A = this chain, B = another copy of it.
């Protein structure tokens, strides 16, 4: 069965993690976990200060070539009657939010990210390029194993 609307809303608003899949130049799918927040009608994910390999991130390179992305939200439980997932397909854009030339949308995205993740008190919210991905969701699909699964979503992972 599909998740009810209030559950998909809660996930997009409050779930802490998603799998972002972008397309490599070869067309291969390339998946990575991301944090994100909802603001200004889209989902935003920063290129933050968590340790990185260095150099431009693959996800940024990929989105510049092909904006099509897929986000998957889900949570594993040993009780399979509690399983659910939500997939949101969309188009990503690279936005930058330099400290002194920040657009309104980018500013509200940064506020939403700080509010959602207290971790950004100790981890830099933006890297040297001050980049974020803005993901506009164009379609959604969801699944849950049972109505009981829905009650668990609000508890978080």
Contact with B along A11-43 (1 / 0, CB 8 A): 000001101011100011111110000000000
Q: Which of B1, B27, B70, B89 contacts A51 (CB 8 A)?
A: B1
> Is B31 a contact of A70 with CB atoms below 8 Å?
yes
Given A83-B50, A145-B51; A33-B72 close (CB under 8 Å): yes
Q: CB distance A68 to B21 under 8 Å?
A: no
Judging by beta carbons under 8 Å apart, are B22 and A29 in contact?
yes
A35–B76 Cα distance when bound, in Å, is 10
Number of residues in A with C-beta < 8 Å to the partner? 36
Given contacts A74-B33, A119-B78, A145-B50, contact A27 B85 (CB under 8 A): no
- Cβ contact of A87, chosen from B23, B32, B78, B143, cutoff 8 A: B32
The residue in chain B whose Cβ has the minimal distance to the Cβ of A146 is B51
Chain B residues, CB < 8 A from A83:
33, 50
Interface of A toward B, CB cutoff 8 Å: 1, 16-17, 19, 21-23, 27-33, 50-51, 53, 68-72, 74, 76, 78, 80, 83, 85, 87, 89, 119, 123, 143, 145-146, 157
Please state if B29 and A69 are interface contacts (CB–CB under 8 Å): yes
A17 in contact with B89 (CB, 8 Å):
no
